[in-house]
Amino acid sequence: MSVKAEVPSKKITLTGLKNAFKLYRYIRPYTLIFSFGMFLLFGGSLVSLAFPKLLGDLVTAGNEGTLTESLNRIGLFLVLIIVVQSVFSYFRTIIFVNVSEKSLATLRQDTYNHLIKLPLKFFEQKRVGELNSRISADISLLQDTLTST
């Protein structure tokens, strides 16, 4: 049996928050559409809260002997909830992927523009493969973070 080692979590610091908010400038041009995506996230979560309520109503109807009367109504609501939640989730995912891809494209352009302005001595001290690997890994991590929101 394997035991997973706990990864120590880093404390949230003011410096870390400042660095995180620097990334906001890449999302800022898409604030309206990103806000709509957050609305869809909130709406999907809110709709999913109705699912256990309706299942509880179904159990209650079964205990009271009115299951046949309530089964169609509650079943229809359950299907409706699943459809609404799926639609919210679909459009939310599309919005978050589009915003994150556009934001990361701008970040990549800014990173490239910064790198080409650095003096040649910088590239003599740092290995190009190491820089490339680090940039790719960091941007992939940001992409996963922004997309999975």
pLDDT reported for residue 11: 78
Expressed as residue numbers, the domain containing 86 is: 28-147
pLDDT reported for residue 21: 83
Residue-level pLDDT, tens digit, the chain, 149 residues: 455 556 567 777 888 788 778 888 888 999 999 999 999 999 999 988 888 888 888 788 777 776 677 778 888 888 999 999 999 999 999 999 999 999 999 998 998 899 889 888 888 888 878 888 888 888 888 888 777 75
Classify each residue of 4-37 as buried b or exposed e, where b means 16 or more C-beta atoms within 10 Å of its C-beta: eeeeeeeeeeeeeeeeeeeeeebbeebeeebeeb
pLDDT reported for residue 46: 92
pLDDT reported for residue 16: 78
Has residue 4 been placed in a domain? no
pLDDT reported for residue 143: 82
Has residue 2 been placed in a domain? no
pLDDT reported for residue 86: 94
pLDDT reported for residue 132: 84
| Rounded Cα–Cα distance for residues 143 and 27 (Å) | 12
| Rounded Cα–Cα distance for residues 144 and 147 (Å) | 5
Has residue 7 been placed in a domain? no
Classify each residue of 105-135 as buried b or exposed e, where b means 16 or more C-beta atoms within 10 Å of its C-beta: eebeeeeeeeeeeeeeeeeeeeeeeeeeeee
Has residue 10 been placed in a domain? no
Has residue 96 been placed in a domain? yes
Has residue 20 been placed in a domain? no
Has residue 115 been placed in a domain? yes
Has residue 19 been placed in a domain? no
Enter the pTM of the model.
0.73
- The total of structural domains in the chain comes to 1
